[in-house]
């Protein structure tokens, strides 16, 4: 039998979709949604872990960079300190302690109070500096009495003094006898004493000692 639907098109009831088709479509949609959700969880979870690991690595790298910078500063300070110490040592080596020299010279002059060996004094002291040759100390010296042995003892004690190894030259022990009436005994031997120190930038030279007098020529024996 032929049916004619006279209702307008928008009011007409369409043919219904089978339940099995709807169930299959719902199951497919659910499966696709689940797969997409699982992929999102896995993807974004791994991405979050990767980002956290990157942040951890960057934090460790920044901490190590700070340690490296601190180590570089320490190394720079160590080198600067070593340079300063070396500079101070070089300055100390290039300078001479005149107070130490005077103490040693006074020890030689006093000779622990042994006036029998020699009794010496100085009329003054002058120092002339020279960077190339070294400083020169000049002193008008006196040794009491006219006994030459005392003058020799005084020069021997000078050669035994600690500052002797720093000398490059010492004047010859040439003297003249002078008389001072207010002294007992009044006679004394006066001589200029000149000590030249080697420059501190080089090794101190061995002091020059006066040459021994030449032996008299031998006379031929009479036959």
DSSP 8: -
| Domain boundaries of the chain, sorted by first residue | 19-95, 98-197
pLDDT score of 137 = 93
Sequential DSSP letters for 187-200 = EEEEEEEEEEEPPT
Per-residue confidence (pLDDT) for residue 23, from 0 to 100: 77
- Strand bridging mode 120-122 / 167-170: unpaired
Q: What is the pLDDT of residues 128-157, one digit of tens each?
A: 988 788 899 999 999 988 888 999 999 999
Determine if the pTM surpasses 0.75.
no
Task: Report, as ranges of residue numbers, the positions in the chain whose pLDDT lies below 70.
Answer: 1-2, 4-18, 41-45, 94, 201-223
**Phi/psi of residue 143, nearest 5 degrees:** -125, 120
Report CA torsion sign: 97, 100, 104, 110. positive
Say what the pLDDT of residue 184 is: 79
Question: DSSP strand E in the chain: where?
Answer: 120-122, 126-128, 136-144, 167-170, 176-179, 187-197
* pLDDT 10s digits, 162-174: 999 989 998 888 8
Q: Supply the pLDDT for residue 190.
A: 93
């Amino acid at each position: 039998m032929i049916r004619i639907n006279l209702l307008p098109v928008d009011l007409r009831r369409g043919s219904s979709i089978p339940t099995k088709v709807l169930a299959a479509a719902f199951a497919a949609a659910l499966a696709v949604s689940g797969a997409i959700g699982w992929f999102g969880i896995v993807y974004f979870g791994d991405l979050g872990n990767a980002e956290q690991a990157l942040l951890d690595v960057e934090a460790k790298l920044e901490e190590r960079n700070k340690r490296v910078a601190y180590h570089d500063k320490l190394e720079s300070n160590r080198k600067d300190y070593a340079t300063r110490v070396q500079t101070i040592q070089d300055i100390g080596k290039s300078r001479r302690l005149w107070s130490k020299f005077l103490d040693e010279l006074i020890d030689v002059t006093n000779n622990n109070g042994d006036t029998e060996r020699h009794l010496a004094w100085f009329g003054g002291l002058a120092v002339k500096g020279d960077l190339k040759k070294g400083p020169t100390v000049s002193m008008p010296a006196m040794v009491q009495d006219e006994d030459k042995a005392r003058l020799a003892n005084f020069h021997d004690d000078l050669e035994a003094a600690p500052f002797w190894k720093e000398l490059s030259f010492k004047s010859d022990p040439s003297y003249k006898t002078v008389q001072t009436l207010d002294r007992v005994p009044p006679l004394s031997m006066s001589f200029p004493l000149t000590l030249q120190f080697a420059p501190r930038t080089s090794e101190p030279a061995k002091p020059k000692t006066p040459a021994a007098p030449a032996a008299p020529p031998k006379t031929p024996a009479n036959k």
